[in-house]
Amino acid sequence: MKLFNNLFAYHFKCTARIFLPLVFGVLLLAGCTKGMESLSKPLPFLTAPYTFLLIISAFCTVGMFLCIILLSIRHFFRNTTSAHGYFLFMLPVKPSMHLLSHLFTYVIWLIVAGAAAVGCVFLLIPNNAYAQLGTILDQVFAVLQINENRIIVVLIAMMLLSAAAFMCTVYAAVSIGQLAKENRALASFGAYMGIYVIEQLLSTLLMIILFACFDLDLFISNPVLSGEMLFGFLAGASILYILIGTTSFLVANRLFSKHLNLI
């Protein structure tokens, strides 16, 4: 456990150098946009710069997630295929610990980015739109007949699960790509595409089996989405993500344990 904590601290420190300024930058930009909104009311000529800043802030908020995902992949790729791998793989730590510490770091940063994104949304929404947004959400929850707290928790869990499953698939792809002697990035990308196609085929197959085994006509014939149907979909998707994530993790662990190829 001590070694895992040390590994996590190491990865967190390595990624925090880039991610912390990124998250604070996006929050700062959203704060400036909010300030501009307040100024644009008494000074109408600032409306156009405010609108421009609002669009930029919205793009940056989405871009923050994209950066965290891409840089996390880069961090893992460098740590397993380049000279940096010599440090990690000379440690008396099982490959599963390496994978878990990378995954844990990535999920923590996604949570931090998610919290920052929520903050940005609250900052970016114009003051007069808060009440409208609340009304719309209340109407959606009423139509679906679901508890809003429950659905928020389930949706957040789903998003984290899908993000973790995606990253495990990337780990599996890199573990296959590292077997190549040259062009490992290309080999990893090719492996990811292969895994993605297999995933899609298996998902489709699973759906066909489910439709054949159970009376799922309800989902097709009923045009109105109900809360129970939504939770049913989410539960099904969660099981699929857990299966994909676990299988990918096991593949990556096996290849890094038995076929490590740090050239």
Query: Does residue 89 contact residue 262 with C-beta atoms inside 8 Å?
Result: yes
Closer of 50 and 76 to other proteins (Cβ): 76
Q: Which residue has the tokens 């908020």?
A: 61
* Interaction between residue 263 and other proteins (CB under 8 A): yes
Stretch that binds other proteins, among 45-53, 187-195, 214-222, 253-261 (CB under 8 A): 253-261
Query: Which residue in 4, 65, 89, 219 binds other proteins (CB under 8 A)?
Result: 89
Nearest to 187 by CA among 72, 77, 79, 32: 77
CA distance 107 to 89: 22
Closest contact distance (angstroms) between CB of 23 and other proteins is 19
Closest contact distance (angstroms) between CB of 182 and other proteins is 10
Query: Which residue in 8, 46, 94, 189 binds other proteins (CB under 8 A)?
Result: 94
Query: Which residue in 85, 164, 177, 253 binds other proteins (CB under 8 A)?
Result: 85
The dihedral of CA 38, 40, 41, 42: what is its sign? Answer: positive
Strand, coil or helix: 183: coil
Closest contact distance (angstroms) between CB of 11 and other proteins is 11
Q: How many Cβ atoms sit within 10 Å of the Cβ of residue 150?
A: 12
Closest contact distance (angstroms) between CB of 249 and other proteins is 18
* Interaction between residue 56 and other proteins (CB under 8 A): no
Closer of 6 and 132 to other proteins (Cβ): 6
Closer of 87 and 233 to other proteins (Cβ): 87
Integer CA distances (angstroms), 184 to 9, 18, 70, 172, 191, in order: 27, 24, 17, 13, 10
Closer of 182 and 217 to other proteins (Cβ): 182
Site string for other proteins, 65-84 (x = CB under 8 A): ------------------xx
Query: Does residue 144 contact residue 227 with C-beta atoms inside 8 Å?
Result: yes
> With b meaning 16 or more CB within 10 Å and e meaning fewer, what string describes 129-147?
eeeeeeeeeeeebeebebe
* Interaction between residue 259 and other proteins (CB under 8 A): yes
Joined together, the tokens standing for residue 69 give: 């995902």
CA distance 161 to 103: 11
* Interaction between residue 14 and other proteins (CB under 8 A): yes
Query: Which residue in 1, 17, 220, 221 binds other proteins (CB under 8 A)?
Result: 17
Binding site for other proteins (CB under 8 A): 2-3, 6, 10, 14, 17, 83-87, 89-94, 181, 258-263
